[in-house]
Structure 1
């Protein structure tokens, strides 16, 4: 009963509202069918949808590659590895808004931002720019923020997987003449399949619903070039008062996350069984 009132009823009401013209400028809530959903593929909504998928895909790849590399390095007898693990994981427990504002000031315009000051100090003045004021670089900064904050999660999951690999198997492979790369690919990688599945799913879902980092750094700018579905939902609801369109975007995002996550899970589980 609790689940019904807390989850099912609000979700059903939100889905219904996505088929209406409910807004802050009208007292009526007329049924408009699929009109709100048709507008999603037009203009800024369509661009935000594509951009959301691109951010999710890029961050998923970078986060997992960096996380696996860090896990492989920190799984050795490296001196001070425990401190390094802590430092890399630390951003995970920090608020995404705080991380976003931190990078907003790091990449602030010349004379303010630490990144531009560093470039000037090493004689690379020509590379100084308003990082968050240009479409290409602003999107790059957003991706950097997401990967920097959450690479620690991927690293920890991969570390757990690596530490569960029996040392005897690796020793046997080494005795048989397998080099480091062959041992990783034919011995370690198949045993890491569950960790790979978990990390890919977590990073994909996180990338699809990213909001805080973008809101803190660019608020969807410049000129909407870092707008995602999540930031557009917020803008449609709180700024424009288009509640029906905001609900349609939210339903679309929820369905997209569910479908992509399910497809990814099915594919990765099949690969686990074949590993």
Structure 2
């Protein structure tokens, strides 16, 4: 520390400021290695991912939406036809039937998988020693290939397959039928396969949601005399509202674009009884070469998925409590 004596007798300190504030100011002016890059360009790290998403997903979707208004065959030139493709779609009974089948499989699978998954989650949540093994067994179908699962079930549903053989053993031979070749039952067979494979996924979502439900509240309600159903309806279900929203949203979106199971089991038959919008898009685009027509079908499917996803999110969104 040094001091300077002036003519008026006063001294001026030349020492550095030793206060914490002074140290902080001094250190703030010192350059830090790597800091300018992070401060200026940290958003550059996500730029490659944004570019891939923009060009592969959004640009491709926009291009498909454009070709929906053309008569392009996938090769060569095309002509802008306006809404002619959409008019042809809504004037074709088979396409209307495909829309109905799509909605039936979507909502049927969402309802059944969520009910079955929630029941399994409640049963395997706690108190059962073998719950971890059972959880693994119920989740195994989810990780299997949809095509492999569909071909296994196709063998089960054959006229000479295990299902009809089992019915014969029970003395119910009059109920034996070619399940996948029957227009009245083929769509139900496809639904069974979808529910069987996807129930384990919803079960895992609900198990994760049930882990956040306080045990003390359930025990207090039981002591106060609340029944099992009352504890579930007024305590458990409101506590897992976010899990319900996730499970139903994912199930609805996946159900609306069902493709693998239908193509492997029935190929859209018999007589279009299991045809969906996704299978129609594939056939019109790649089998028949009607790229513009197939793009119009894909655009309709996209709009349907968007509408129902938004409605579902509104219905399952958490509502703020009154007074807040």
Give TM-score scaled by structure 1 length.
0.94
Query: Which of 65, 69, 80 pairs up with 2:130?
Result: 80
CA RMSD, 1 decimal = 1.6
Does 1:190 find its partner at 2:238? Answer: yes
User: Which residue of 1 is the match for residue 296 of structure 2?
Assistant: 248
Q: Which moved more, 1:40-49 or 1:125-134?
A: 40-49
Structure showing greater radius of gyration is 2
Query: Which of 12, 22, 35 pairs up with 2:62?
Result: 12
Structure 1 residues 49, 183: closer, same or farther in 2, change over 3 A? Answer: same
User: Which residue of 1 is the match for residue 175 of structure 2?
Assistant: 127
User: Which residue of 1 is the match for residue 86 of structure 2?
Assistant: 37
- Residues 226-274 of structure 1: CA distance to partner in whole angstroms, max 9, x if unpaired? 000001111111221111110111111112111210111022105x546
Q: Distance in 2 between matches of 1:203 and 1:253?
A: 15
Structure 1 residues 141, 14: closer, same or farther in 2, change over 3 A? Answer: same
User: Which residue of 1 is the match for residue 37 of structure 2?
Assistant: none
C-alpha displacement of 1:23: 1.9
User: Which residue of 2 is the match for residue 104 of structure 1?
Assistant: 154
Q: Distance in 1 between matches of 2:116 and 2:148?
A: 22
Instruction: Give ranges in structure 1 of 5+ residues lacking alignment.
Output: none
Q: Which has the higher contact order (CA 8 A, sep 6+)?
A: 1
Does 1:163 find its partner at 2:211? Answer: yes
User: Which residue of 2 is the match for residue 60 of structure 1?
Assistant: 110
User: Which residue of 2 is the match for residue 153 of structure 1?
Assistant: 201
Query: Which of 226, 250, 259 pairs up with 1:211?
Result: 259
| Aligned-partner SS, 1:136 | coil
- Residues 148-186 of structure 1: CA distance to partner in whole angstroms, max 9, x if unpaired? 000001111111111211111111111211111111111
Instruction: Give ranges in structure 2 of 5+ residues lacking alignment.
Output: 1-50
C-alpha displacement of 1:121: 2.0
Q: Distance in 1 between matches of 2:187 and 2:53?
A: 38
User: Which residue of 2 is the match for residue 2 of structure 1?
Assistant: 52
Q: Distance in 1 between matches of 2:302 and 2:128?
A: 42
- Larger helix percent: 1
Kept in 2: contact 1:39–1:45 (CA 8 A): no
Structure 1 residues 151, 117: closer, same or farther in 2, change over 3 A? Answer: same
Structure 1 residues 244, 56: closer, same or farther in 2, change over 3 A? Answer: same
| Aligned-partner SS, 1:28 | coil
Q: Distance in 2 between matches of 1:9 and 1:166?
A: 46
C-alpha displacement of 1:5: 2.2
Give TM-score scaled by structure 2 length.
0.80
Q: Which moved more, 1:134-143 or 1:115-124?
A: 115-124
